[in-house]
Amino acid sequence: MNDSRSKDPDRQLQLLRVLLQDKGTIDCDVLEIATGTWAIHGDIPLDGEVLMAEFDTYDEARHALDEVLGEMGPTSDP
């Protein structure tokens, strides 16, 4: 069963922030993993590549990704 609280955009954004503080890295794309489910993925030290956050819409996922990337500041990646 889908718990709507698990895809709350604000909670997912907080989760992304925590994972990044714990030395995780985030990929700069949004994936549709099922109809109506969009995800941000990346790497965390122990588990490797994982889904880091899920959203109901592409726009919610893109907004969260933009927020997190903006907080990280400029990087040296092209």
Domain boundaries defined on the chain: 4-72
Cα–Cα dist 26/29, whole Å: 9
Residue located via tokens 């992304």: 16
Sign (positive/negative) of CA torsion 66, 17, 74, 45?
negative
pLDDT in tens, 27-77: 888 999 999 999 999 888 888 888 988 999 999 999 999 988 888 765 544
Q: How far apart are CA 18 and CA 23, in angstroms?
A: 9
**Residues 6+ away with beta carbon under 8 Å from 52:** 15, 16, 19, 24, 26, 39, 40, 41, 42, 44
The pTM for the full model equals 0.71
pLDDT digits (tens, 9 = 90+) for 4-22: 445 688 888 888 888 887 7
